[in-house]
A = this chain, B = another copy of it.
């Protein structure tokens, strides 16, 4: 095994897929995150332990690239590696391979450590990063911001309420809901005829139980790009840009 790479197998369950029998992008991200959760547990750095120190890991950005979505029933292997870190940011890579060793999807993610009392980003603690065998690099990565479309057509915004069961065992709105709120802004026809190639999603502010969120969507059907913003009355919570491809069948 390559140094610092953690992997685990997963069989895609029916409730992780949609009508196309492929995983939704939200579930893809949940599945990828299984690997980092289980790596943390294997290293003794559980959520509970980090919370007991007064901290929590928070994701600020994901860059996702999809060759093809895993299918219902498919046996996949999830990989993750804590790539590098600096004073405030930790970079982590994720990828999924099919049983034939084909790379199906990858994700590059930014994690920060949150001081739970001060509700502010904390400096990365050595004791929380050393066990991952991760490289220190003073350089802060320049991740592209998800940008508004030059020629976007606005689609009708949709409203969602954050529900009790949307908050998962990490005490955050589960990833899948942000993705669902965004993807649901696109039409059925578009979703059946296209597949997601790339997604850049950046989180700005947590939303909480009971809040109403608005999901606004822009689309450029020529370039097959979409842009998504999730807002609450408090302001912008999350934005993303997607690149799509026509399905051949």
Interface centre among A18, A34, A183 (most CB of B within 10 A): A18
Note all chain B residues with C-beta closer than 8 A to A164.
18-19, 183-184, 186, 188, 191
Note all chain B residues with C-beta closer than 8 A to A19.
164, 167-169, 171
- Considering the chains assembled together, what is the distance between the CA atoms of A27 and B165 in angstroms? 10
- Considering the chains assembled together, what is the distance between the CA atoms of A230 and B174 in angstroms? 24
A30 partner, pick from B15, B158, B167, B184, beta carbons under 8 A:
B15
Is A180 in contact with chain B by the CB < 8 A criterion?
yes
Given contacts A163-B184, A188-B210, contact A168 B15 (CB under 8 A): yes
Interface centre among A26, A183, A184 (most CB of B within 10 A): A184
Residues A17 and B184 in contact, CB atoms below 8 Å apart = no
Note all chain B residues with C-beta closer than 8 A to A73.
41
- Considering the chains assembled together, what is the distance between the CA atoms of A42 and B176 in angstroms? 30
A165 partner, pick from B26, B168, B174, beta carbons under 8 A:
B26
Is A128 in contact with chain B by the CB < 8 A criterion?
no
In the complex formed, the residue of B with least CB distance to A15 is B30
Residues B184 and A165 in contact, CB atoms below 8 Å apart = yes
Closest 5 CB pairs of A and B: A21-B169, A17-B169, A15-B30, A163-B184, A72-B169
Seed contacts A19-B169, A19-B171; 6 additional CB < 8 Å A-B pairs: A15-B176, A19-B168, A24-B165, A41-B73, A72-B169, A164-B186
What are 12 A-B interface contacts by the 8 Å CB criterion? Answer: A14-B168, A14-B169, A15-B27, A15-B175, A17-B168, A18-B164, A18-B165, A19-B169, A41-B73, A72-B169, A164-B191, A188-B210
